[in-house]
Chain A
């Protein structure tokens, strides 16, 4: 009984971490531009496929697959920013929202055209083997994923707080005009944060592929919407919040699917979403007004 529960929790945690990575990128972009970037989900999907191509055509090992996917996704993110958001930065938020929806439609259907609607098998990057800790069993895949996610989170934190670029990113998202006065070029910083965000999404895509051994072009809109729910649960603008939100959502979904009914999976996620929006629209994690991250 407890063993089943632990199994459920550890597999839900993997999904929760994926949500968290996508949610983090989403939140970075929201913090800096104040817009909801729908196409971020599709960047995640494209990242997974870039990782797949790296693994199949270039026979890369796990480290290089991750780096390759992150690099590809990052370039895609910067490109999207340049063509879709830069020209309409002065327009209303809703135009920007729908510009990103348009990009999402284009990317998703390009993915469907190139890779087809079916599942594409993802090569095994690590030969999975069970590891037992006392009475509990984990697979080494799960341990590896936890390690990678923690590595990514720590490096994001270090970049944002300890490097000049990271401090500039935070400065622009805190107050763009003041940042300009301090000699920061906001356009560069916006591109860089789109790059960071998209790299996280690409990594999340590869994790999803590694864990399920399957990827498909519609994965962006299914996982992506959940990642968005995770952002709202954690609080838009709070980076630790979106990690926590992703984990909470992953657990709620996994346990709900196991103990209530698997067909209600999406219903559970979106009910949490509505409840949070209703009772705590600022999210569970309070964002101090003077500090967004």
Chain B
């Protein structure tokens, strides 16, 4: 264990190796099945990192991440199928609209709700949005929306699995780096102060209400990016994807991967994306295995699998 920590300290070297491995992975194997798993892992790692920011760094437990993910995906699907705008316009719009709705929701809830009550309110957000998607024809009803056009960049359309891999890789590295930068900035320190103690943070001059809204909004921004890429990749979305179970899955990724650790969130995303495929043969049993993994992690490794590790920075304690 100590050796493992020592290796982790050679930050630059490890990071370069990981990056290089990620970039050349499609050259080694471009098996569509493998590539699909890789793309989904990357998309879910964006989502789990954004949830990690919320749960581990601001201390807000949210069960509403599927709703934010869903807003991103639905905005992309509707704009993509109805207007045919280019993706570099739709993707930011999806992220921003998810962020705006989340900020508004935060604005009305953070004033009166704390802790577990907020988690429940965010769960209600998931259910209400799902009822809206299912009942309003504009959102495609229970059938969902199909035929989302592929993203095009510089006249090069991203359809093959390998190109999608690089597309998703670009956005997940971008998210990782920007979330890390945010976390060590003034805003991030305010979040961590709120996580440790809301009252003390308030006394130290942090506007707790505002920074909670900002945290929820920023988290939703990344969730919106994830949702947008998900919609582009899957071509078809339906309301059933964005249920409370999706939220619970995302929280599982964060909890199992590692507390207070963005790489942990990525590892969690990888575990929970790849595991279902490995367990495809056992049918219903795989959900039980998920439950067991979550349960055993909470009981035996309450801090998660991966120790806190920053890709870019050395945090002095």
On A, residues with C-beta under 8 Å from B are 36, 84, 87-88, 91, 93-95, 97-99, 101-106, 108-110, 112-113, 225, 228-229, 232, 261, 263-264, 266-267, 269-271, 273-274, 277-278, 281
Contacts and interface: CB of A to CB of B under 8 A. Distances in A.
Contacts of A108: 287
Given A106-B295, A109-B284, A113-B284, A93 B128 contact: no
Nearest to A30: B116
Closest 9 CB pairs of A and B: A267-B131, A105-B291, A106-B291, A102-B295, A109-B287, A102-B294, A270-B127, A113-B284, A270-B124
A10 B38 CA distance: 54
B124 A277 contact: yes
A216 to B, nearest CB: 14
A109 B291 contact: yes
A264 B288 contact: no
A277 B117 contact: yes
B248 A97 contact: no
Contacts of A109: 284-285, 287-288, 291
Interface stretch (B94-102, B105-113, B165-173, B176-184): B105-113
The residue in A113, A270, A271 that gathers the most chain B C-beta atoms within 10 A of its C-beta is A270
A93 B114 CA distance: 13
20 contacts: A93-B115, A94-B55, A99-B299, A103-B295, A105-B290, A106-B295, A109-B287, A110-B288, A112-B287, A113-B283, A228-B120, A261-B135, A267-B127, A274-B124, A278-B109, A278-B112, A278-B113, A278-B121, A281-B112, A281-B113
Contacts of A104: 291
Contacts, number: 108
Given A106-B288, A263-B134, A264-B131, A84 B295 contact: yes
Contacts of A110: 288
Contact of A264 (B121, B135, B298): B135
Contact of A93 (B116, B121, B135, B284): B116
B252 interface: yes
B269 to A, nearest CB: 17
B121 A277 contact: yes
A264 B141 CA distance: 12
Contacts of B299: 87-88, 99
B255 interface: yes
Contacts of A102: 291-292, 294-295, 298
Interface residues of B, number: 39
Contact of A99 (B115, B244, B298): B298
A65 B263 CA distance: 51
A274 B131 contact: no
Nearest to A96: B298
Given A266-B131, A270-B131, A274-B125, A98 B298 contact: yes
B252 A91 contact: no
A99 B301 CA distance: 12
Nearest to B128: A270
A233 to B, nearest CB: 12
Given A93-B115, A274-B121, A281-B113, A267 B128 contact: yes
Contacts of A84: 295
B255 A98 contact: yes
Contact of A274 (B128, B244, B285, B294): B128
Contacts of A271: 128
B294 A101 contact: yes
Contacts of A281: 112-113, 117
A146 B120 CA distance: 30
Contacts of A267: 127-128, 131-132, 135
Interface string B144-168: 0000000000000000000000000
A186 to B, nearest CB: 20
A264 B113 CA distance: 26
A112 B294 CA distance: 19
Contact of B294 (A36, A105, A225): A105
B246 to A, nearest CB: 13
Given A95-B255, A113-B288, A277-B109, 18 more contacts: A36-B120, A84-B295, A87-B299, A98-B251, A102-B291, A103-B291, A105-B290, A109-B285, A109-B291, A113-B283, A113-B284, A225-B127, A263-B135, A273-B121, A274-B124, A274-B128, A281-B113, A281-B117
Contacts of B116: 36, 93, 97
B120 A277 contact: yes
B61 interface: yes
Interface string B291-307: 11011001100100000
A263 B134 CA distance: 8
B197 to A, nearest CB: 14
Contacts of B244: 225
A112 B245 CA distance: 16
